[in-house]
């Protein structure tokens, strides 16, 4: 049994972007696809994924300040 087998094979995020979990180390693999084939891919190691989450948290807090005014 693969370590990360419990995750879906690939999930659609929108705008032609898909995400899946690497079955060897848990990295996130983002791909762009045009309906026929994968055009680009980016592998986010866990540390980079966590940095992205921290960035999104900061951006959402700034966005909330502007929405409440």
pLDDT in tens, 10-40: 899 999 999 999 888 889 999 999 989 999 9
- Report which of 1, 56, 22, 23 is spatially closest to residue 31, judged by C-alpha positions: 22
Q: What is the reported pLDDT for 4? A: 52
Query: What tens digit of pLDDT does each residue of 38-51 get?
Result: 999 999 999 999 99
The rounded radius of gyration (Å) of the Cα atoms in the chain is 15
Return the bridge partners of 32, or none.
17, 40
Query: What tens digit of pLDDT does each residue of 50-68 get?
Result: 999 999 999 888 766 666 5
């Amino acid at each position: 049994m693969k370590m990360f087998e419990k995750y879906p094979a690939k999930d659609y995020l929108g705008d032609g972007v898909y995400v899946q979990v690497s079955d060897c180390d848990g990295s996130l693999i983002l791909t762009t696809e045009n309906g026929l084939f994968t055009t680009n891919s980016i592998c986010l190691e866990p540390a980079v994924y966590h940095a992205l989450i921290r960035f999104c948290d900061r951006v959402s807090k700034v966005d909330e300040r502007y929405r409440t005014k």
